[in-house]
Structure 1
Amino acid sequence: MTSTIAVVTGANSGLGRVTATHLARSGARVVLAVRNTTAGAEAARTMPGDVEVRELDLASLTSVRTFAAKLTADHPKIDVLVNNAGVVLLGPRRTTGDGFEMQLGTNMLGHFALTGLLLDSLGAAPAPRVVTLSSITHKRAHLDFDDLMSVRNYGASRAYGISKLATTVFGLELDRRLRAAGSSIVSVLAHPGITRTNLTPRAWEHLGLFGRFVAWAGLLFTQPVERGAEPQLHAATTPGLRGGEFFGPSGFLEMRGRAVPVRPSTEAADPVVGRRLWAAAEELTGVRYLG
């Protein structure tokens, strides 16, 4: 990946850190896009090759715009964008500074805006790629467009599932729009199954007792973060992938295993849902592209 510029959000820990490390080891120049630059600098010191740290808070559209403007000024060509960062919350409903439910705002809307603002630099690369990180929790979620911010019906883990469904819908709709525009940019998706990161138990709690059983008892047979990062690394680096491909673990319920093609939920793959969410995201973020 020599001469490749790769941007990884949330690259100071977990899946993002593993992904960034492997990309750097492969010869890419890697931008660690992180909210906490001190933690980012600490992570960068452990990585081989050419790594730089830049501040990005996906929960702030101002931060997203500032990051994108500075990055594209310094790197007019970006080869790979890995939309990896994510938050899982417990407790009462929280909002971003822009008034979005925190998980939807960070996990999906922040990445929606970021991707649009980096689109010209991505389009300048010879074989550009956007990798969006999904979750198997998206398969049990549903988008209520009359309550997209979960104001009337809020549960922290339920809202996480909604945010990951929205993220999955975004990655697939991005592919449709890139193809329709004749763009060379490829949009692909990945999910890590159940991986031993600090997010795992909370991500499953919205499924009630079953979810808590899977999250906690399941730690006995889930996979380490290095294996969990394989689907997104496969999506980021494998030559010749088609837009809209989706990768996850090969094992039972896609919880663990080697990276293989997987299917999104019916709702995630619905073009009508995709168009509706895209329109909502443009309205909410003020970032409009591929219309």
Structure 2
Amino acid sequence: MSAHPPRSPLTRLEQEDTTLSTSLVTRDGTVATVTLNRPDRRNALNETLKAALLEALTDVGTDETVRAVVLAAEGQAFCVGQDLAEHADRLSADGPAAAFETVPNHYAPIVEALATMPKPVVAAVNGTCVGAGLGLALACDLRVFAEDATLGTAFTGIGLTCDSGLSATLTRSVGESRARELVLLGKTFTPADAVGWGIAGQIVPRADVHATAARLAADFAAGPTVAFAESKQLIAGALDRSFAATLRAEAEAQDRCGATSDHRDAVNAFIRKSRPTFTGR
């Protein structure tokens, strides 16, 4: 495990133990791993964890020395969604309006940080992943699933509907009809189901989840990160643009990629029949 530069935002994060008591940020070269660290509660999302997670994702997203990110979790579960004990207390003490402030204040910015981060993000789904936990996983670019993980939407089981962007990310992954079924019935499903339906991801033994995700992120970190960022942005907006607008957006993105030293050096490497080295510039 290599140390990161002393002025990196991650240094401040890792040193603030009180802030990050439930979320850990570690570095291995240019890969940052953000780990949900509340295993005794199956990484249920309470106020402390949500605030720490949002801060961690914001910092790694803006840290130019980070070129790829892994979202991981300690324990036997990836994330079971909202901490319902805390939610019940908030409902009782402050009422529904206050209890649901967490949706725009925490869940929305967390998944936006994941989905719009200008670098690849890999979710290491090591176990149960339901509700907002599934929303976190689907906001990432790729997923590595433990073969025995349990997935599900879970919201209607407690009389709620989607948050964490799930109505969009799930629908885009599996189609409208399947998304209706998964949300309305609320039944759990397997990683094999998920991949078969279009939720892209690798399925590996539970013991291999973190290592597989780390290797995938390391491959991304060694790649053309400007091109990755432009590709993410194009794909994210593809369904909302006209075809003509897409062609214009692609041309503009190609101009930006074409101006990078990564592109120039990769073309020269191709001509020389050698392997390119990408620097992210």
Q: TM-score, normalised by structure 2?
A: 0.33
Query: Of Structure 1 and Structure 2, which has the larger fraction of its residues in helix?
Result: 2
Larger Rg: 2
TM-score (ref. length: structure 1): 0.32
